[in-house]
Amino acid sequence: MERRPRIDGHTLLAGVIGWPVAHSRSPLMHNFWLEQRGINGAYVPLPVAPGSFDVAVRGLQAAGFRGVNVTIPHKESAYRIVEEHGRLDRSARRSGSVNTLVFAPDGRIEGYSTDGDGFVANVEAHGIPVTGGRALLLGAGGAARAIAASLLDRGVDVVVANRTRARADALAASLAGITVIDWAQAGDVLPSCRFLVNTTSIGMNGGADAVFPLDLARADAGLVVCDIVYVPRQTALLQQAASHGLRTVDGLGMLIHQAGLGFEKWFGATPDIGPGVEAVLDADLHRAHAG
């Protein structure tokens, strides 16, 4: 690995805006890639309180940053500022969200949503083609919409179940092609599905705050079970799926794949989305869990 140059007047800058943002693994990931590629760049956490997002973005743009990732609670603000003052990529329009801002040389702000395509890329990196068939999505938040849009674009029939039916109905109203079912009906749909995707927080940090409304024993043997939660990497849902002999895809790869687009646009190089960065993140997650 080449040694990354010290920070100086030529250093390319990017970061992640959130509130809070100290928990984000994005700085660890991007700075690993920068050092690996020998790029004179730095990626930093940027804690920005609610109500200060627009001022912060304009300040970072004026200070020469190449762009930022955006996380909770600023994704709606990111969509709005790009819609008003920049250019929304098709991915952002389809998903109704923005998680990556690029400050273009012409002064405009470009907005992208990388969650959906990052999810698909992660599944396909496991040797599973994402084309056709039916997917059952659990959850109806921003990640669910981004993933649903990418699946629909690849000819997958998408069924959404959410604990609050109204949120799922709102998602279907904003993204044509989705079928909505009640949370309790998820188990009835499961046998006809090729993919099961958990986009809820159930199972995060090993918690068991709710029960999934389905029995994986009823699933087709070819079902692929995906969880976008990555703390822990092997959630209770994935463990249950493995016990039934089903293929599983954890959420850490989605985190890595969705980050690649921003890195390319900010730093002008393609990151190595492989075992190196995965090992770095996995080790950090283990340290955090042990602590």
Which member of 30, 37, 75, 94 is catalytic? 75
The answer to the question of whether 164 is labelled as a binding residue is yes
The verdict on whether 75 is a catalytic residue reads: yes
228 assigned binding-site residue: yes
Measure the CA dihedral 24/29/35/38, to 10°.
Answer: -120
Going by C-alpha positions, the residue among 70, 69, 1, 68 that lies closest to residue 34 is: 1
Q: Give the contacts of 66 (CB within 8 A, at least 6 positions apart).
A: 12, 13, 14, 102, 103, 265, 266, 267
Residue 183, token pair as written in the block: 């949370």
Which regions of the chain does DSSP assign to beta strands (E)? 12-18, 41-47, 67-70, 86-88, 100-103, 109-112, 134-138, 157-162, 178-182, 195-198, 224-227, 247-249
- H or E element: which one contains 54? helix 53-62
140 marked among binding-site residues:
yes
Q: Which two tokens stand for residue 286?
A: 């283990």
Instruction: Report whether 142 belongs to an annotated binding site.
Output: yes
- The answer to the question of whether 141 is labelled as a binding residue is yes
167 labelled ligand-binding: yes
Tokens of 162: 């959410």
Is 205 part of any known ligand binding site? no
* Residue 26 labelled as part of a binding site: yes
* 259 marked ligand binding residue: no
Q: Which of 25, 110, 40 is nearest to 71 (CA)?
A: 25
Residue 163 known to bind ligand: yes
Nearest Cα neighbor of 224 from 202, 200, 199, 249 is: 249
CA angle (260 as vertex; 235, 143 as ends), nearest 5: 45
What phi and psi values does residue 139 have, to the nearest 5 degrees? 115, 155
258 assigned binding-site residue: yes
**Which segments are annotated as binding site for NADP(+)?**
139-143, 162-167, 228, 251
Q: State the catalytic residues.
A: 75
Q: Show binding-site residues for shikimate.
A: 24-26, 71, 99, 115, 230, 258
Show binding-site residues.
Answer: 24-26, 71, 99, 115, 139-143, 162-167, 228, 230, 251, 258
